[in-house]
């Protein structure tokens, strides 16, 4: 039979000469399975004929890349629905990787996302969606509102799961009562069968549907084992209900195991519900980031005509109007107007930045006071905000180490159990004599029942739920197992400055005056000017003076002097509030002692605001972002535990140095942009460090996403909180050492649970298969197997609950 040839066109990037083409063709010539090849320079494509399409294509692409060229691939993130366990993610990933044109795929069960690198010329998203649907899953390929669709599907699924659990428990309780206490009740078996049938075939139908779809692709997941164990036990029980004499003639009492079937389904559904609850908020960070960009913008055309258009229609060079309170839609440059803009998303600093003509503005930052106009310079996926979103998405799509371990265990566990159950049937049939088939069937069912993965399925989610609850009691919110698995190994902690080490809000720490105290009238004038100034530092002064009970007086002719301060008139006399440049410009003097004190404070990176009449400075307000009371103690505690502590900030070097010195941090980096924070973490990780990032601002999102463990301050931005894996509600840094200890205890509990779950299986499965029968004639009754299975689950849950009693000191 002739081999089928496939012609494939691989798009190329950076191939612009015949020399490049010859190099690529030379590489393609050495690939087994590539029968014909040529490089089309004009259309920038490598055209190959292959007889083993997937393998040969992958080799061709690797060869092109190894030669220093690139193919026209793209990387996208797609929400995946319908996954119920870690094995499902493996199956979904495997089927995706098997598609022609897919270069790589990572399916993350924790956030239900697939990160796929593919060549659009070879495969489209609809084909990938169909491939996943063939094994029981689905993929959201709509680019608009994908996260909203995913959230809606999740909420519907959780609601359905909760309803199913209620119904299953209602049906299971009477079945258990009948099976345990009313076994001799007339028609009791019929009643149990009637109650169990909807449990297994309605509320548990997805186990069977998924198992069948997986089997078509020669794969097995937890659904396979659940379907086999409950299915065989149910059919076995139905047979015994209607034909009990079959066993009695052979000297064996007929038993039904409807209660075991119902309990198994109940435990598995409950485990799934707990698991879904634990990973429910993984997409909220992306939604918040996307929410920073407005859907509509006002574009100015021609001679000044304004028109509201969709953000997707904005082009580079468009002139855009930004009103007070608006979120800035794109990166651009201000060409008319002035205002203060909250850039905490970019800089991490809480003090809004003054913007005048020629200043740069960034998408997602918030205009506070005043309107202005900008020229769009970066739009769509090129904005700083879009880059942050992309980095967070890609980092969230990475796989946790613990997930790989669970995947491997699940992949081995399921086929081994199935094999043992079949083997026990065969061996009993060969050596069991006339009752061999009878004992073989009993052993096969018992193995499947006793090995049902309830304990394995509950080992991780119950420990996580208890750990999360214990953390919440201490003010530590933990979102998933990834941070728990890695936090115990953290040897480096990176702290943001503003809002993490410091309070994150400027306030007046000192009021300096010429005399012992300023007159009430002077403070009244100062408050009146600052309350109308609109400058963020003025708000701090106003707050301090109002706290002292100072009242306002009428002032006039308030004038803002850009970059220097303000001027106003009271009772016909000029008064000034601002910096030293304002004093020099107006020939205002300052008392030597007062100036000396102000200089001392400025050396500690605090800001001095000067208030004067027309001749001399009367008051100096010292403004600072206070360091939290527990920051130095927390740093010392981390360092005493052998953890390296760094500080990264977008603030200036003088401020950073002063703060680092006060809290005992030896290593710090100042004037660091969001990408710089992320790069610094990458550098530490390349040296083998396990890095925890602690931040409070949207600007920390990239670094939080890159870090092995991300921790947000609860009083910081919602974006930082949603992007992180842990949140310190009170923003107290002393809780970080506790979070690391909680991680150690929780992971230890998970390992104990898994250990006992497998020890239970290692001991019980051979007994269930009949290994003791030749020694003492003992063969395990499936009823006892069902009880043992339930007991194994109870022991795992009990061990998890014991975590509540342990100290975090």
Distance CA 311, CA 315 (A): 9
Length of the chain: 809
Distance CA 801, CA 799 (A): 5
Beta bridge partners of 625: 506
Distance CA 224, CA 232 (A): 12
Does residue 648 sit in helix, strand or coil?
strand
Of 223, 318, 480, 496, which one is the catalytic site residue? Answer: 496
Distance CA 641, CA 650 (A): 28
Query: Do residues 660 and 668 lie in contact, with contact meaning Cβ atoms separated by under 8 Å?
Result: yes
Which residues, 6+ apart, have CB-to-CB distance to 431 below 8 Å?
none
Which residues, 6+ apart, have CB-to-CB distance to 97 below 8 Å?
104, 105
Short-list 379, 352, 695, CA closest to 534: 352
Beta bridge partners of 669: 648
Short-list 499, 355, 397, 478, CA closest to 740: 478
Distance CA 176, CA 787 (A): 11
Does residue 728 sit in helix, strand or coil?
strand
Q: Is 496 annotated as catalytic?
A: yes
CA-angle at 775, arms to 771 and 778, nearest 5°: 65
The two counts, helices (H) then strands (E), for the chain are: 29, 30
* CA 469 distance to own-chain centroid: 19
Q: In what order do the strands lie in the sheet with 70-71?
A: 34-40, 45-50, 6-13, 70-71
Cα dihedral value 219, 225, 228, 231, nearest 10: -130
Cite the DSSP H helix spans in 548-673.
580-585, 592-603, 631-640, 653-663
Which residues, 6+ apart, have CB-to-CB distance to 563 below 8 Å?
354, 581
Short-list 121, 68, 72, 77, CA closest to 96: 77
Helix, strand, coil shares, percent, the chain, to 5: 50, 20, 25
Longest Cα separation, the chain: 118
Q: What Cα–Cα distance (Å) separates residue 806 from each residue in 466, 483, 744, 748?
A: 11, 19, 11, 12
Distance CA 423, CA 444 (A): 8
CA-angle at 69, arms to 66 and 70, nearest 5°: 105
Does residue 385 sit in helix, strand or coil?
helix
Residue 748: CB atoms within 10 A of its CB come to 14
Distance CA 781, CA 765 (A): 12
Residue 510: CB atoms within 10 A of its CB come to 15
Query: Do residues 487 and 726 lie in contact, with contact meaning Cβ atoms separated by under 8 Å?
Result: yes
Which residues, 6+ apart, have CB-to-CB distance to 249 below 8 Å?
none
Cα dihedral value 415, 417, 418, 423, nearest 10: 120
Catalytic residues: 496
């Amino acid at each position: 039979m002739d081999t089928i040839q496939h012609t494939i066109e691989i798009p190329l990037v950076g191939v612009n000469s015949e020399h490049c083409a010859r190099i690529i063709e030379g590489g393609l010539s050495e690939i087994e399975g590539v029968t014909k090849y040529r490089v089309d320079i004009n259309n920038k494509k490598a055209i190959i004929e292959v007889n083993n399409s997937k393998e040969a294509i992958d080799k061709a692409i690797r060869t092109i890349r190894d030669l220093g060229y690139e193919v026209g691939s793209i990387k996208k993130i797609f929400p995946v629905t319908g996954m119920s366990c870690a094995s499902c993610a493996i199956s979904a990933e495997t089927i995706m990787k098997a598609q022609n044109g897919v270069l790589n795929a990572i399916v993350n069960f924790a956030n239900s996302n697939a990160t796929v690198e593919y060549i659009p010329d070879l495969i489209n998203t609809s084909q990938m969606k169909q491939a996943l649907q063939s094994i029981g899953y689905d993929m959201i390929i709509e680019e608009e509102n994908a996260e909203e669709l995913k959230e809606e599907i999740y909420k519907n699924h959780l609601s359905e799961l909760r309803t199913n659990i209620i119904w299953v428990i209602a049906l299971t309780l009477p079945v258990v009562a009948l099976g345990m206490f009313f076994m001799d009740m007339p028609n009791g078996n019929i009643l149990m069968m009637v109650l169990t049938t909807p449990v297994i075939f309605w509320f548990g139908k997805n186990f069977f549907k998924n198992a069948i779809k997986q089997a078509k692709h020669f794969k097995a997941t937890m659904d396979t084992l659940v379907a086999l164990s409950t299915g065989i036990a149910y059919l076995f029980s139905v047979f015994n209900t209607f034909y009990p004499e079959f066993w009695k003639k052979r000297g064996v009492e007929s038993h039904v195991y409807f209660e075991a079937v119902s309990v198994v389904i109940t435990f598995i559904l409950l485990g799934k519900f707990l698991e879904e609850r634990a990973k429910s908020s993984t997409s909220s960070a992306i939604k918040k980031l996307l929410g920073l960009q407005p859907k509509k913008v006002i574009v100015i055309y021609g001679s000044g005509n304004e028109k509201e258009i969709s953000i997707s229609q904005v082009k580079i060079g468009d002139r855009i109007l930004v009103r007070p309170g608006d979120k800035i839609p794109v990166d651009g440059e201000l060409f008319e107007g002035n205002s203060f803009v909250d850039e905490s998303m970019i800089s991490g600093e809480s003090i809004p930045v003054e913007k005048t003509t020629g200043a740069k503005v960034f998408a997602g930052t918030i205009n506070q006071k005043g309107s202005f106009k900008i020229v769009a310079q970066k739009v769509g996926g090129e904005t700083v905000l879009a880059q942050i979103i992309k980095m967070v998405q890609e980092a969230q799509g990475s796989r946790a180490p613990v997930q790989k371990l669970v995947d491997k265990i699940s992949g081995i566990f399921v086929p081994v159990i199935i094999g043992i159950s079949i083997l026990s049937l065969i061996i009993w049939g060969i050596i069991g004599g006339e009752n061999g088939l009878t004992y073989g069937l009993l052993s096969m069912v018992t193995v499947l029942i006793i090995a049902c993965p309830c304990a394995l399925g509950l080992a991780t989610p119950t420990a996580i739920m208890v750990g999360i609850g214990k953390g919440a009691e201490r003010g530590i919110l933990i979102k998933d197992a990834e941070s728990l698995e890695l936090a115990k190994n953290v040897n480096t902690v990176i702290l943001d400055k503003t809002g993490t080490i410091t309070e994150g809000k400027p306030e007046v720490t000192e009021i300096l005056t010429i005399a012992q105290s300023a007159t009430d009238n002077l403070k009244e004038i100062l408050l009146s000017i600052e309350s109308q100034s609109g400058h963020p530092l003025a708000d701090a002064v106003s707050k301090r003076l109002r706290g002292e009970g100072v009242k306002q007086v009428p002032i006039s002719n308030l004038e803002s002097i850009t970059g220097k301060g303000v001027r106003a008139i009271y009772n016909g006399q000029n008064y000034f509030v601002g910096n030293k440049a304002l004093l020099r410009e107006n020939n205002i003097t300052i008392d030597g002692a007062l100036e000396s004190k102000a200089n001392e404070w400025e050396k500690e990176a605090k800001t001095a605001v000067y208030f004067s009449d027309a001749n001399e400075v009367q008051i100096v307000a010292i403004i600072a972002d206070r360091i939290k009371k527990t920051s130095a103690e927390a740093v010392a505690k981390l360092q005493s535990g052998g953890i390296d502590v760094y500080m990264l900030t977008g603030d200036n070097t003088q401020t950073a140095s002063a703060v680092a010195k006060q809290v005992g941090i030896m290593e710090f980096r100042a004037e660091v942009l969001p990408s710089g924070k992320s790069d610094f973490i990458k550098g530490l990780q390349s040296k083998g460090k396990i890095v925890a990032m602690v931040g409070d601002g949207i600007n920390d999102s990239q670094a939080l996403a890159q870090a092995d463990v991300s921790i947000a301050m609860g009083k910081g931005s919602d974006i930082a909180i949603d992007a992180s894996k842990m949140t310190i509600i009170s923003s107290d840094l002393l809780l970080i050492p506790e979070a690391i200890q909680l991680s150690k205890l929780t992971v230890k509990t998970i390992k104990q649970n898994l250990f006992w779950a497998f020890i239970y299986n290692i001991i019980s499965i051979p007994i269930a298969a009949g290994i003791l029968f030749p020694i003492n004639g003992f063969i395990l009754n499936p009823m006892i197997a069902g009880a043992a299975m339930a007991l194994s689950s109870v022991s795992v849950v009990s061990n998890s609950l014991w975590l509540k009693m342990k100290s975090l000191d």
